[in-house]
Structure 1
Amino acid sequence: MKKPWLGLLLLIGSFGLVVGVSGQTVEGVAFPEGYRTWTHVKSMIVEKGHPLFELVGGLHHIYANSKAMQGYQANPRVFPEGAVIVFDLLEPVKAENAVVEGKRKAVIVMEKDTRRFAATGNWGYAVFEGDSRRPVEINANSCYECHRGAANTDFVFSSFRP
């Protein structure tokens, strides 16, 4: 079965950074149990033609724990220790003149911890495959290299949509 989110891993792999699959955490970032009860930050659909389609094409929901919400609401935007942001990537399904959620492709997680993740802008990154919660072990430096473009917002691209 085709896994479009695999483009993210292929990009990471192109840097020689995919190192395999292991237990329940990746680079120290655990699967965020109960994240769908956290604050919903925003949703979007990345379609063909978008520069990131090959990496993360699909339906996105972004969730933030309470500490991450403090960061989203701060000015300037700085996220506190323990902030966790979840990027829930789903297959968009068009049916009866609507776009609805299909199968989950991946759960992508950012966790703020200045002690553990100092080398990557104080953020740890993880990718979990679909609903299986199977972590795909990655080198967070590749995530950090992309997120460096958002250094002025504490390495977070999304904004809270009240």
Structure 2
Amino acid sequence: MKRKSQLAIALAGALVAILGGTTLYGQGKSNNSRAKASEKYTLVSPSGIAFADFRGYEAWSIVSSARTKEVLKVIVANPAMIEAYRSGIPGNGKPFPDGSRIVKLQWKPKKSSEAPFDVDVPDVFTQAFVIEKDSKRFPGTGGWGYALFDYDVRSDTFSADPTGVADCGHACHVKVAAKDHIFHPYQMR
């Protein structure tokens, strides 16, 4: 239990540093890097979801975090979805409104070389898994559309994952249909 608490505290601190520092990091990038960063918003997934629909996700509020053996994840949501969470959705039985958007940011982990305890921290950014609520566009999947945008650190570029949604998508989210297909609750602050 103590290790889980330490990991949660360290991960929360790392997430604040990462998400809070995105603007500062972006200011220090070269013009070429900034141009590449804006190119991600021209991408469209095989499912028809445009990365541009998620413009500004870097500053969205954190919903939750998760950890697998391979990946550290931070889940952020747009203001419409955060407001829905705060109103009690999905616990009150209501669905998220159209226009709700959520992004799962994923990093490969590494052991911290600075912390005085054993903790994993984000290392290399790998993917942005995006989910968008639009009942008219996605009627067969509970109103949700799914896409995966991969990041290549060597070229500093994103690409739409050609397989559609390699790591999950609607097939995984059916398990939580009673919660409007969303796994992560809005965590206590």
What TM-score, normalized to structure 2?
Answer: 0.63
The residue number in structure 2 matching 1:33 is 55
The residue number in structure 2 matching 1:89 is 106
Q: For 1:158 and 1:137, locate their aligned partners in 2 and report how far apart those are by CA, in whole Å.
A: 26
The residue number in structure 2 matching 1:70 is 83
Aligned residue runs from structure 1 range 137-152, under 5 A = 137-139=162-164, 143-152=169-178
Q: For 1:114 and 1:66, locate their aligned partners in 2 and report how far apart those are by CA, in whole Å.
A: 18
Percent identical among aligned pairs is 32
Larger radius of gyration: 2
Aligned residue runs from structure 1 range 110-129, under 5 A = 110-129=131-150
Residue pair 1:88, 1:108 contacting (<8 A) in 2 also: yes
Q: Does the residue aligned with 2:181 lie in a helix, a strand or coil?
A: coil
Does residue 135 of the first structure (1) align with residue 160 of the second (2)?
A: yes
Q: For 1:158 and 1:41, locate their aligned partners in 2 and report how far apart those are by CA, in whole Å.
A: 7
What amino acid is aligned across from residue 162 of structure 2 in structure 1?
E
Q: Give the deviation of 1:146 after TM superposition.
A: 1.6
- Greater per-residue helix proportion: 2
Give 5+ residue unaligned stretches, structure 1. 1-22, 48-56
Structure 1 residues 159, 59: CA separation in 2 closer, same or farther (over 3 Å shift)? same
Q: Which moved more, 1:67-76 or 1:146-155?
A: 67-76
Residue pair 2:147, 2:169 contacting (<8 A) in 1 also: no
Residue pair 1:108, 1:126 contacting (<8 A) in 2 also: yes
Q: For 1:159 and 1:46, locate their aligned partners in 2 and report how far apart those are by CA, in whole Å.
A: 18
Aligned residue pairs: how many?
130
What TM-score, normalized to structure 1?
Answer: 0.73
The 4+ residue runs of structure 1 with deviation greater than 3 A are 137-140
Q: Give the deviation of 1:139 after TM superposition.
A: 4.8
Structure 1 residues 62, 120: CA separation in 2 closer, same or farther (over 3 Å shift)? same
Give 5+ residue unaligned stretches, structure 2. 1-41
Query: Aligned-residue CA RMSD in angstroms?
Result: 1.9
- Greater per-residue strand proportion: 1
Q: For 2:94 and 2:104, locate their aligned partners in 1 and report how far apart those are by CA, in whole Å.
A: 19
Q: Does the residue aligned with 2:132 lie in a helix, a strand or coil?
A: strand
